[in-house]
A = this chain, B = another copy of it.
Amino acid sequence: MSDLHATATANTVLTSPASSGASGDDAAGVAETRSRDADRSQQIILEAATREFSEHGLGGARMDRIAERAQVNKRLIYYYFGNKESLFLAVLEQAYVQIREAETRLQLTDLPPIEAVRQLTRFTWNYFVEHPEFMALLNVENLQGAQHLRRSSRVQQTNFSLIQILEQVLARGQAQGIFRAGVDAMQLYISIAGISYFYLSNHATLSTIFDRELMSPSAREARLMHVTDVILGYLRNDS
């Protein structure tokens, strides 16, 4: 989280006071006139709220606890974010902004197809491992039927260029005769994410049920290998 707003523009979800839940019409220029402290307070609140929401869900999260975690006055949260729901939306938006940024840094088009898929799989796995709160937020938002996401103009623009990149990778592999034909990139992407996500997000219940330690370093390494095997095993062309 430390590299969060490296630039003043790209990944910010910081708001003007009382712009509660609104779209995102406060652009770069405005940020200049705002004090450093204001930005910092908002960022600290967002981080605290991210932890709180991911640990307790929307209904279970407590504004008091967020204020305590952020070491700010509760009133300040309302000053910046309006209310609980808007705060949750801001948290969610920031989470999406961050993963999108990270994905952008991947350069899959430059790699051979198999390697590109391997990289994407590894990246997805690692991102979930390093950002369990992102998975938790997804859980929470899905429990709510994505009602916040749907309202967010900010996230909806994210029509995942990743899918286009993946399509291109699949096309290259197919042209080279090493990938099977007829693969839907979105379906594949969901499978890559799902295989990782279910294991990581549900490890608490799974390890209880199977009575097996699933989060040790060696277990995680084994899982990543399995995930890669499944995806590449599926894609390979054995004709």
- Given A57-B59, A58-B60, A194-B197: A139 and B150 within 8 A (CB)? no
In the complex, are the beta carbons of B143 and A205 less than 8 A apart?
no
Task: Pick from A4-12, A38-46, A109-117, A184-192 the stretch touching chain B.
Answer: A184-192
Can you list 21 A-B pairs with a CB-CB distance of less than 8 A?
A21-B68, A57-B59, A57-B140, A58-B60, A60-B143, A136-B143, A139-B139, A139-B143, A139-B201, A146-B204, A149-B205, A149-B208, A150-B208, A156-B208, A156-B211, A180-B233, A186-B212, A187-B223, A190-B198, A230-B231, A238-B238
Min CB distance, A162 to chain B, in Å? 10
A104, CB-defined interface residue at 8 Å: no
A35, CB-defined interface residue at 8 Å: no
Query: Please, which residues of chain B bring their CB within 8 A of the CB of A57?
Result: 57-60, 140, 143
A202, CB-defined interface residue at 8 Å: yes
Most buried by B among A19, A59, A227: A59
Query: Please, which residues of chain B bring their CB within 8 A of the CB of A167?
Result: none
Query: Please, which residues of chain B bring their CB within 8 A of the CB of A212?
Result: 186
Min CB distance, A132 to chain B, in Å? 10
In the complex, are the beta carbons of A141 and B205 less than 8 A apart?
yes
Per-residue CB contact flags for chain A residues 113-152 toward chain B (1 = under 8 Å, else 0) read 0000000000000000000000010111111111001100
B-contacting residues of A (Cβ < 8 Å)?
A: 19, 21, 55-61, 64, 68, 136, 138-146, 149-150, 155-156, 158-160, 163, 180, 184, 186-187, 190-191, 193-199, 201-212, 222-223, 226-227, 229-231, 233-236, 238
**Which residue of chain B is the closest to A237 with respect to CB atoms?**
B238
Alpha-carbon separation in the docked complex, A139 to B190 (Å): 18
Min CB distance, A20 to chain B, in Å? 8
**Which residue of chain B is the closest to A54 with respect to CB atoms?**
B143
This chain: copies in complex: 4
**Which residue of chain B is the closest to A150 with respect to CB atoms?**
B208
Min CB distance, A196 to chain B, in Å? 8
- Given A64-B19, A209-B160, A233-B180: A226 and B187 within 8 A (CB)? yes
**Which residue of chain B is the closest to A146 with respect to CB atoms?**
B204
In the complex, are the beta carbons of B60 and A205 less than 8 A apart?
no
Min CB distance, A80 to chain B, in Å? 16
